[in-house]
Chain A
Amino acid sequence: MPPSPPSEAVYNTPNYLNAEAGLRSWLTTRDHKRIAIMYLVLTVSAFALGGVFALLIRLELLTPGPTIMDAATYNRMFTLHGVVMIFLFMIPAIPGIFGNFLLPLMLGAQDVAFPRINLLTVYLYLLGAVIAVWGMVQGGTDTGWTFYTPYSTTTVTTVAPVLLGAFIIGMSSILTGVNFIVTTHTLRAPGLTWMRLPLFVWAIYATSIIQILATPVLGMTLLLVAVEKVFGFGIFDPVRGGDPILFQHLFWFYSHPAVYIMVLPAMAVVSEVVQAFARKNIFGYKAVAFSSLGIAFVGFFVWGHHLFTSGQSTFASGIFGVLSMFVGIFTAIKVFNWTATLYKGAIHVAAPFVYFLGFLYFLMFGGLTGIALSTVSLDVHWQDTYFVVAHFHFIMVGATIMAFLSALHYWWPKMFGRMYSERWALAAAVLVILGFNATFIPQFLLGNMGMPRRYYSYPEQFWPLNVASTAGASLLAFGFLIVLLYLVTSLVNGRVAGPNPWGSRGYEWNTPSPPNAQNFPETPVITGSAHDYQDELAGEVARAH
C-alpha cells in the first residue's frame, strides 16, 4: 500500500534551513550543510559565467573569419572560460557542495572536523574568485588557463592578479581537502569501519589526497610566474638559461591530477546513484573503493603525457606514456563494476539515473580517447588540436557535469525537502545529453582534420563542423536553462519530499529532509554496510511514483 504523501507540516519542522534566520546567520554559519548551500550558489553562478563565455566563443567560431569580436577579445574569452570553469566550478563544485553536505551525514557525524576552517574556505574561494575575475576583466589576461611561459611572462596584458586569485582558490581547495581527510579519520560513527564507508566517502577521500599533495605545487608555480612577470627574476626565462619545459612539468604535476580532482567526485556521486536506483549493493565494493585510491596515486605519475611534443625526452615520454595506460585501468574497473551492479537489480529510471547513464557514456568515450591520446604517436597528431578539446570536455563537461546534475537531482529532496518536476527533469536530461554530443563530436573530427585549438579564425575546410558544434552548444545551453528553471521553481511549489523519497538505503537518508541542524539527535551506531537491499525492511517508506 503506497504511503500517504508527506504534508507541508513535515516540511516546516525545525531543520538546518530554518534553524536561524537572516543573512548574517548564513554568512557566519559553521554548519556544513549551510556552507554546502553557499558553495552551490557560488559555483553555479561561476558555471553560468563560464557558460556565457563558452557561448560567445562558439558564436565567434561560427564563421571562419571575425564574427562578433576581435582576436584580442577572443583570446581573453577562452582564458576567462578556462579559468572560471576549472578553478571556480569544476574543482570546488562537487566537493564543496555535495562533499560538505553529505560527508558528515554519511559518517554519522555532527559536522566536519574543522567547521571554522570550512567557512574560511568559502571566503577564500570568494576572495580568489573576485581577484581572478577582476584581474582578467581589468587586465584582459590572454594567456589561456595554462599560463605557459614565456608567453605569460612577456604578454602585455596583466597576468599577476589572475595567478594570485588562482593561488588563493588553491588554498581554499587545500583546506577543504585537509578538512575532509581529518573528518574521515576521526569522526566516523561507532561501527562505521573503513570497509563499511560509503563509496562516496572513499572517492572524496581520494580527491582530498590529490588536493593536498598537488595544489601547493600549482600555487607555487603560479606564484613563480607572477614573480617572473612582475620582477623578472628569470626562473623560466629562456634568455637567462631558464627552461620553459620545467614550467610545463610543474604545471602539469598539478593539472593532470587536477583532472582527477574533477572526475573522482563525479565517480563518488555515481557510485551512490547506481546503488540507489538499481536498489542493489555495488558489485565489487573493494575494487571500486581502492580504485579511487589507485587513481589518486597513479594519477601523479602521468603528467608528462601532456608534453609529448614539447621537447621532452623520448625516454621520459615513454615512461609517462606507459604509466598513463595504467591509470586508465582504474577507471575501467569502475565502469565494469557499475555496469555489473545493474545485473539482477531493480532499476528505476529517474532523472538521476538518466544522468548516470550519460556519465557512463561520456566517461567511457572520454576515457578511451584519453588512452588513445597517451598512445604516444597518435598524440603527436592530436596534441593541441580540437581532438584534445573534445576529449577533455567529454571528461570534464560530459562526465563531471552529468554526475553533478545526477547528484543535484538525487540529493535535491534531501537538501531542500522538495521534489522538482520529474517530467521536465527527464526531458532536460535528454536534451543536455544530446546537445552535448552535438557540440563535441564535431570537435573530435575537427581535431582529426588538424584544426589547432585556440584559433580565432580558421581555414574554410573547418567551417561545416564548426557550425555543427555551435548549433549543438545552443542546444546544450537551452537544456541547462530548463534545469535551472524547474529546480528554482521547485523550491517554492515543489511537492514535499519526505525523508526518503527514493527509498534509498544510503546512511544520509536516515535523517529528515531537510536534515536538522545537528544532523542526528544522537550519534548513530552503524551495524551494516550502506545500500544493502537484500531484505525487505519493515516500515520502509518511499514516494509513490
Chain B
Amino acid sequence: MHTEAAATPNLAHHFPSLEQQEHAARLGMWLFLATEILLFTVLFTAYAVYRFLFPAGFEGASQLAHVAIGATNTVVLITSSLTVALAIHCARQGRSRATVALLAVTIAFGAAFMVLKGFEYYHHFADGQLPGKYYHYAGLKGPGVSMYFTLYFLMTGLHGLHVLVGMGVLTWIAIRAAREEFSPSYSTPVELAGLYWHLVDLIWIFLFPLFYLL
C-alpha cells in the first residue's frame, strides 16, 4: 500500500507515505488553529477584565445589542458548519459535484452572516455606539460603556475578518474540487479548510452570549 502511495502525484518527496503526509498536514493545521485560539484569547482576556471591572457598564451596553440578528447569525454559522462537514464527507467519497455544491452553500451562508453583521454595524454607527473616543450615543453613558463597544467592534471585527478569509479559502477549495483535484485517497485540503471554518464557528459560539446575552 505504501509503495503504491509513493507513486501518487500528491505525495511530496520527503514523506514516506500519503497517510503520514496527511497526518502531518492535519497536525500542522491544528497547531495553526491553536495560534488562532491564542490570538483571540488576548481579546477574551480583555473582555473578562473589563467586564469584571465594569459590570454595570457592560450589562447596560449589551442591551443595545441586536439579539435577533445575533441569534440569526448564530444559526447561520452553525448551519454553515454542517454544510462544510458534509462537503468534507462528500470529498472523501469522491463526489466532486456534491462537494462543490455544499461548499457554495457554505460560502453563501458566510456571505449572509457578513450582510447581517453589516446591518448591525450600520445601526450601531447610526446611533453613535462606537468604540472609545468615538462613542457619542446619548441614551447610555457611564464608565465601561465605550469599552464594551471597543471590544465589540474589535472582536466581531476580527471574527468577521476570519469569516472573509474563510470564504476565500473555501472558494479556492471549491474551484479545486470542481477541477476534480480531490479523490477518496486525497482530500486533505478540503478537510483543512473545513477545520478553519469550524474554528470560525467555534469563536462565534462564545462571542454570541458574551456580547448579546450577558
The answer to whether B14 and A217 have CB atoms under 8 Å apart is: no
Contact B45 A115 (CB under 8 A): no
Q: Report whether A186 and B23 are in contact in the complex, using a CB–CB cutoff of 8 Å.
A: yes
Cβ–Cβ < 8 Å partners of B35 in chain A: 174, 178, 212-213, 215-216
Quick check: which of B62-70, B96-104, B149-157, B198-206 contacts chain A, the rest being far away?
Answer: B149-157
Contact with B along A494-522 (1 / 0, CB 8 A): 00000000000000000000000000000
Produce 1/0 per residue, B52-74, CB < 8 A to A.
Answer: 01100100000000000000000
In the complex the two chains form, is A178's CB within 8 Å of B28's CB? yes
Q: Within the assembled complex, what's the spacing in Å between the Cα atoms of A185 and B50?
A: 40
- The residues of B that contact A113 with a CB separation of less than 8 Å are 14, 24, 28
B210 to chain A, nearest CB (A): 16
| Proximity bits, A182-221, B CB within 8 Å = 1, else 0 | 1101110000000000000000000000001111110111
Interface string of A236-253 (1 = CB under 8 A from B): 010011110010011000
A interface residue count range (under 10 / 10 to 19 / 20 to 34 / 35 or more): 35 or more
CB neighbours of A5 from chain B (8 A):
none
- Closest Cβ neighbor of B27 among chain A residues: A182
Within the complex, what minimum Cβ distance (angstroms) separates A57 from chain B? 32
Summarize A's interface: helix, strand, loop or mixed.
Answer: helix
> With the chains together, A207 CA to B35 CA distance in Å?
15
Interface string of A218-233 (1 = CB under 8 A from B): 0111001001100111
A237 CA to B50 CA, complexed, in Å: 12
B53 CB, nearest partner CB in chain A, Å: 7
Which chain A residue has the least Cβ–Cβ distance from B36? A216
CA distance A222 to B212 in the complex (A): 27
CB of B143 within 8 A of chain A?
yes
Judge whether B184 is part of the interface by a CB distance below 8 angstroms.
Answer: no
Q: In the bound complex, do residue B132 and residue A232 qualify as a contact, i.e. CB atoms below 8 Å apart?
A: yes
- Contact of A216 (CB < 8 Å), options: B15, B28, B38, B133: B38
A243's nearest neighbour on chain B, judged by CB, is B49
Enumerate chain B residues within 8 angstroms of A109, measured Cβ to Cβ: 14
Give the chain A neighbours of B93 by CB distance below 8 A: none
The answer to whether B132 touches A212, judged by C-beta atoms less than 8 angstroms apart, is no
For B27, the chain A residues whose CB sits under 8 A away are 181-182, 185-186
Most chain B CB neighbours (cut-off 10 Å) among A177, A232, A235: A235
Q: Considering the complex, which residues of chain B in the window 1-54 have a beta carbon less than 8 Å from any beta carbon of chain A? A: 12-16, 20-21, 23-24, 27-28, 31-32, 34-36, 38-43, 45-46, 49-50, 53-54
Given A212-B31, A212-B34, A234:B42 Cβ within 8 A = no
Measured between alpha carbons, how far is A187 from B17 in the docked complex, in Å? 11
Q: Are B49 and A246 in contact (CB under 8 A)?
A: yes
A114 within 8 A of B: yes
Structural contact, A221 and B146, CB atoms closer than 8 A: no
B94 beta carbon closer than 8 Å to chain A: no
B143 nearest in chain A by CB position: A241
A529 CB-CB contact with B under 8 Å = no
Given contacts A113-B24, A181-B27, A240-B132, whether A235 and B46 have CB atoms under 8 Å apart is yes
Cβ of B147 < 8 Å from any Cβ of A?
A: yes
Kindly state whether residue A18 has any CB partner on chain B within 8 Å.
Answer: no
A515 → chain B, closest Cβ, in Å? 14
Q: Which residues of B contact A228 (CB under 8 A)?
A: 132
Verify B153–A233 contact, CB threshold 8 A.
yes
**With A113-B24, A224-B154 known to touch, is A241 a contact of B13 (CB < 8 Å)?**
no
The interface residues of chain A lying within 8 Å CB-to-CB of B147 are 234-235, 240-242
Given the complex, which residues of A lie within 8 Å of B166, measured CB to CB?
Answer: none
Q: Which residues of chain B come closer than 8 Å to A216, judged between CB atoms?
A: 35-36, 38-39, 41-42
Contact between chains at B144 and A241 (CB < 8 Å): yes
Contacts of A221 in B (CB 8 A): 42
Majority SS of interface residues in chain B? helix
Cα A187 to Cα B16 in complex, Å, equals: 8
Return B172 CB to nearest CB of chain A, in Å.
16
Question: Are A178 and B133 CB-contacts (below 8 A) given A113-B24, A234-B146, A250-B45?
Answer: no
Give bound CA distance, A224 to B143, whole Å.
20
Residue on B nearest A221 in the bound complex, by CB? B42
Which residue, B15, B36, B45, B150, has most C-beta atoms of chain A within 10 A?
Answer: B150
Residues of B within 8 A of A212 (CB): 31, 34-35, 38
**Most chain B beta-carbon contacts within 10 A, residue among A186, A228, A523:** A186
Residues of B within 8 A of A241 (CB): 50, 53-54, 57, 143-144, 146-147
Contact of A110 with B by CB under 8 A: yes
Q: Is A111 an interface residue (CB 8 A)?
A: yes
* CB-defined contacts of B54 to chain A, threshold 8 Å: 241
Task: Give the residue name and chain of the B residue nearest to A250 (CB).
Answer: B42
Residues of A within 8 A of B14 (CB): 109-111, 113, 115, 187
A234 touches B132 (CB 8 A): yes
- Decide: A235 near B24, CB < 8 A? Known: A216-B39, A250-B42: no
User: Quick one: which of B38, B53, B151 contacts A217, CB cutoff 8 A?
Assistant: B38
A227 to B133, CA, bound (A): 13
Q: CA of A114 to CA of B32 in the docked complex: distance in angstroms?
A: 13
CA distance A114 to B13 in the complex (A): 11
Chain A 109-150 interface 0/1 with B at a Cβ cutoff of 8 Å (1 = within): 111011100000000000000000000000000000000000
A186 touches B20 (CB 8 A): yes
Q: Which residues of B contact A182 (CB under 8 A)?
A: 24, 27-28, 31
Contact partners of A232 in chain B: CB under 8 A: 132-134
Distance in angstroms from B174 CB to nearest chain A CB is: 22
Give A224 to B153 CA distance when docked, in angstroms: 12
| B57, B153, B154 interface centre (most CB from chain A within 10 Å) | B154
Given A213-B34, A241-B144, A185 contacting B24 (CB threshold 8 A): yes
B53 and A234 contacting across the interface, CB-CB below 8 Å: no
Name A213's closest neighbour in chain B (CB-CB): B38
A109 to B151, CA, bound (A): 46
- State which of A187, A235, A249 has its C-beta within 8 Å of the C-beta of B151: A235
**Which residue on B lies nearest to A178, using beta carbons?**
B31
B153 to chain A, nearest CB (A): 7
B residues near A (Cβ < 8 Å) are 12-16, 20-21, 23-24, 27-28, 31-32, 34-36, 38-43, 45-46, 49-50, 53-54, 57, 131-134, 143-144, 146-147, 150-151, 153-154
Q: List 23 A-B contacts (CB under 8 A).
A: A111-B14, A181-B27, A182-B27, A186-B20, A186-B21, A187-B14, A187-B24, A214-B38, A216-B35, A216-B36, A216-B41, A220-B43, A224-B42, A224-B46, A231-B132, A233-B131, A234-B146, A235-B147, A237-B132, A240-B150, A241-B143, A241-B144, A250-B46
Instruction: Kindly list the 8 A-B residue pairs having the minimum CB-CB distance in the complex, ordered from nearest.
Output: A234-B132, A110-B14, A220-B42, A216-B38, A216-B39, A186-B24, A233-B132, A111-B14
